Each structure stands twice: as C-alpha cells, then as structure tokens.
Amino acid sequence: MRIFGYARVSTSQQSLDIQIRALKDAGVKANRIFTDKASGSSTDREGLDLLRMKVEEGDVILVKKLDRLGRDTADMIQLIKEFDAQGVAVRFIDDGISTDGDMGQMVVTILSAVAQAERRRILERTNEGRQEAKI
C-alpha cells in the first residue's frame, strides 16, 4: 500500500502550505503529494490528472478536506467511483471519513452535496453584494 496526497487551492494567490503540512504529518512523502491551483468545480486539473494516472490497486489518497478534492457533487461521485474501481481508497483527514465501503461513499456523497450548496450560497451572496454596491 502506497500513500499519496492531494492538495488544492482555488486561486494562485492562496497557499497550499497548510494542506501540504497536514499531508506530510499524516505520513505522505513529499514526492507523492500532488497539487493544483485551480477551481474545484472542474476535474480537469493537472495535479489531479497525474495522481489519477499514478495510483493503483491498494493505494490510499489522503486529502485534508473533502472540498479540496472537488466542489461539484456529480464530479465527486465520478472521482470516487473511478478510484473505487481501481481499488484506491480516498481518506479525508479533517472530516475523518474514508471512501472505504458503501457507508463511507454515502457520507462522502452527502457531504459533497452540502459543499456544493455552500459554494452556491457564497456565490449568490457575493453577487448580491456586488449588486448592492452598484446602487
């Protein structure tokens, strides 16, 4: 079993340091940590694509938080299915959940839907604030 890590921030102005430190503290070697500075609403990410090609059956992927892997529920379900078909487990450090087993996958699906709804609410409030600022 090999342990890999994945970290993502949404913009190039944000830092990956906290996530990378958490992954290293959890036992992930530096050369097995894949990163992206891209939106979580897309699965077309260079670091994620490299990770997908690298993992094989029995491997484990650690991610600091669920929303760092993705923010779109359908995309998250597809990623989890893909990793599960390869025999790869995904574990979320802060959330204390894993995709091992049906219950874990169900919890990930529910929390992904919550994260997606939260993202939509943030976008709505941001747009409302911009509209009010124009008045």
The domain that holds 109 is classified in CATH as: 3.40.50.1390
Which parts of the chain are beta strand (E)?
3-9, 33-37, 60-63, 89-92, 97-98
From 10, 12, 42, 112, active-site residue: 10
d(CA 98, CA 79): 13
Q: How many domains does the chain have?
A: 1
d(CA 111, CA 61): 18
Q: Is the pLDDT of residue 130 over 90?
A: no
For 48-67, how does the pLDDT look when each residue is reduced to its tens digit (9 = 90+)?
999 999 999 999 999 999 88
Considering the entire predicted model, what is its pTM?
0.80
> The domain containing residue 65 runs over which residues?
3-134
Has 10 been annotated as catalytic?
Answer: yes
d(CA 127, CA 16): 27
Q: Are the C-beta atoms of residues 61 and 5 closer than 8 Å to each other?
A: yes
Tokens representing residue 95 in the block: 């959330």
For 29-50, how does the pLDDT look when each residue is reduced to its tens digit (9 = 90+)?
999 999 999 876 666 789 999 9
